[in-house]
Amino acid sequence: MVAAAALPLAALHVLGVRYAWTPATYLPLHVLVEMAIALVAFATFAVQWYAASSRAFYEARARFIGAAFLAAAIFETLHILVFPGMPGVFGPSSVERGIVYWLLGRIWIAGALLAAAFLSPESEHPLLRRGPLVALNLAAVALAVALESRLPASSGLLFRPGLGLTSLKIGLELVVAVACAAGALLHLRRWLAEGDQTALRLATALALNVIAEASFTLYASAYDVFNLLGHAYALAAAGLMFDGLFAVALLEPYRRLDATTHALVSSNARLEELRALVEGELARTIARLEEATEREGRARAELEATFAAAPGAIAVFDAEGHLRRANDAAERLLGYTPGEHVSSPHARWARLAAQTPEGKPV
């Protein structure tokens, strides 16, 4: 995909195409592309801000990149306003000022994406919360604007009319390209190690930014085809980053919910199997208990019948000498009334009136 995207740049460079629009023609195209980049950057920040506020998707890496996109969006907006033909802000418009804000935005987002490769998504560091991140990025923007507004509108450090880009400008673009390439490799390594789809999208976006930076080293005029082509690559990269971060912020809670639902369904299935097994075992146990109880009842009934019908006197005493049971023959032999069954052994012995079956005293 990245190699295919680089073909237009390679073709134009190899063929030696040098085309520049008139300012009146180029300016609307430039503003349109730059506004799209700024809007995508603002949207990326907004999605991460509200995703973090709901805590449905709370990832440190996304918060960090989202806040960086806020600063980049402001730099992009300032770049539009100070580009030649625009009204200017904090000073007149010029190619030099446009390049300064453009480079600030590029350096800022490239540095943020490179740093994000070293961040753990689960980090809870206080500086990686929404408020501190936004405050730090806005403070950096304010400082950059304050310093830039003190510079000459056309110092010739980055661009010289009639001559084109300076070595400093080309060098800075190459530094940004190297940072983007390093970030792409780091995010690609994370994708290969963890299967992180967001890392893959960030790696691809950074690779597109490398091509964009190459385009920005080739234009000779602010209205050059290579300048516009570089903006197109930058817009594609911004869109890809938004897609990756937006998709994660929007879909990650549902993915987690889906995974939880599958786990619950699987757990419920296992619980249902366990319940069926327990119910089966319980039913078999109850059946065995009922059968044992029935056998015990029959044995007890037989014992009771045998005990009651025995011709000899049978009496059962406990260890303390209390009478627990006695059959009819024992009742007649011992001569105890029902109330005397609970009397003390001594009292019962004193009142014992044992008789033979014929009623004669023993």
Q: Which of the two residues, 361 and 209, has the higher pLDDT score?
A: 209
* Confidence (pLDDT) at 83: 84
Mean pLDDT confidence for 128-140: 91
Given a cut of 90, whether residue 328 has pLDDT beyond it is no
Q: Has residue 131 got a pLDDT over 70?
A: yes
Q: What is the largest CA-CA distance in the chain?
A: 151
Q: Exposed, middle or buried, 179 (CB in 10 Å: 0-12/13-18/19+)?
A: buried
pLDDT for 71 equals 93
Which domains can be identified in the chain, with CATH numbers? Answer: 2-265 (1.20.1070), 311-362 (no CATH)
138 pLDDT band (50/70/90 cuts)?
A: very high
Tell me what pLDDT residue 73 has. 92
pLDDT value of residue 135: 94
User: Rounded to the nearest 5°, which phi and psi values hold at 86?
Assistant: -100, 165
- The model's confidence at residue 150, banded by pLDDT at 50, 70 and 90, is confident
Nearest 5°: the CA angle 315, 321, 325 is 30
Task: Report the distance separating Cα 5 and Cα 320, nearest Å.
Answer: 104
Q: What is the mean pLDDT of the chain?
A: 80
* Token code pair at residue 84: 């030649």
Give mean pLDDT, residues 315-343: 75
Res 54: pLDDT: 62
Predicted pLDDT of residue 142: 94
Residue-wise pLDDT tens digits, 225-236: 877 888 888 888
Residue 1 has a pLDDT of 66
Q: What is the pLDDT of residue 350?
A: 65
Range with top average pLDDT, 109-113, 132-136, 239-243, 320-324: 132-136
How confident is residue 340, by pLDDT bands cut at 50, 70 and 90?
low
pLDDT over threshold 90, residue 362: no
Higher per-residue confidence, 214 vs 77? 77
Summarize pLDDT for 246-288 with one digit per residue, the tens: 665 555 555 666 667 777 777 777 888 888 888 888 888 888 8
Model confidence over 151-204: pLDDT tens digits?
887 777 887 877 777 888 888 888 988 998 998 898 888 888 887 777 888 888
Name the helix (H) or strand (E) containing 317.
strand 315-317
Predicted model pTM: 0.64
Which positions ≥6 away from 204 have C-beta within 8 Å? 1, 2, 184, 240
pLDDT of residue 242: 79
